[in-house]
Amino acid sequence: MTAIRVAVLTDLHGNSLALDAVRAAIRKERPDAILVGGDLALNGPDPAGTVDGVRELEAEGALVIAGADFDFSAAFPWFSDGAPESYRIAAEWAHDTLGTERVEWLRRLPAERRIWCEETLVLLTHASPGSQTAGFDAVLDPTVVVERLARTDARVICCGHTHIPEIRDFGWKMIVNAGSAGYVLDGEPTASWAMVEVEGDQVRAEIRRTPFDELAAADAISARGLPGDVYRAATVRTGKLVR
């Protein structure tokens, strides 16, 4: 029996340099399917180029979903009084840079996609089943994790949102959090993505790391000069959240 191989990438956040590197790495792997898990535009220096690159993937057969790009207040619940002005300004800049046609394409994206690998159902969602903003954070209470897993009958849940790549196999379900291909926060400034292999009733998954020119991406953010860009640039450069 031949394994079905599915590449998963998510949370590009306007980092077209990282996307180009990941696309090249995935192309060498020749997977059977590619899943793109949302949050494509906000924060990085090239939202238009990133969206165009993802649309090229879609034209080649990739499945693409929406993220929390248009709901960043809900995506960052630690901001009790709403997202700071710097987030609003960055979102407006990205909106203007994208232009009407790309924004309309983003808004038309579905919240989730499903793919059957023989008898195994794989769900692509941004944060968790049924939610673009309630993710599988590492510190989440185990009972909440189980409750969120039970929202879907899929065997494999492919997601992102936390920007921390990890794989959790519960036996009956597997969480494949691809991390972030453009704005990772685990301290390793490379693009993270995942490869899932389904062979019969066996599921295997692996986190992959692809280097990109993080200094050039950080410099492009700094050159933009928006409020908060010094912190965004430092985050891309170090792979750690700086704020």
Task: Taking residues 193-219, report their average pLDDT.
Answer: 96
pLDDT band at 243 (very low <50, low <70, confident <90, very high): confident
pLDDT band at 86 (very low <50, low <70, confident <90, very high): confident
Within a domain: 243? no
Give the chain's length: 243
pLDDT of 76 > 80? The answer is no
Residue 241: helix, strand or coil by DSSP? coil
User: What does the pLDDT read at residue 70?
Assistant: 60
Residue with tokens 């980092």: 15
pTM, whole model, 2 decimals?
A: 0.93
The total of structural domains in the chain comes to: 1
pLDDT of 147 > 70? The answer is yes
Task: Taking residues 221-227, report their average pLDDT.
Answer: 95
Report the candidate in 159, 145, 243, 153 with the shortest Cα–Cα distance to residue 207: 159
Alpha carbons 109 and 104: distance in angstroms, whole number:
9
Within a domain: 157? yes
The residue range of the domain holding 95 is: 4-238
HSE value, Cβ hemisphere, 13 Å, CA-based, for 152: 24
pLDDT band at 173 (very low <50, low <70, confident <90, very high): very high
Within a domain: 25? yes
Contact 148, 172 (CB under 8 A): no
Alpha carbon separation from 72 to 56, 144, 214, 231 (Å, rounded): 26, 22, 24, 17
User: What does the pLDDT read at residue 166?
Assistant: 97
pLDDT band at 75 (very low <50, low <70, confident <90, very high): low
User: What does the pLDDT read at residue 73?
Assistant: 54
Percentage with pLDDT > 90 across the chain: 85
CATH number of the domain enclosing 197? 3.60.21.10
pLDDT of 194 > 80? The answer is yes
Write the pLDDT tens digit of every residue in 22-70: 999 999 999 999 999 999 999 999 999 999 999 999 999 999 999 876 6
Mean pLDDT of the chain: 93
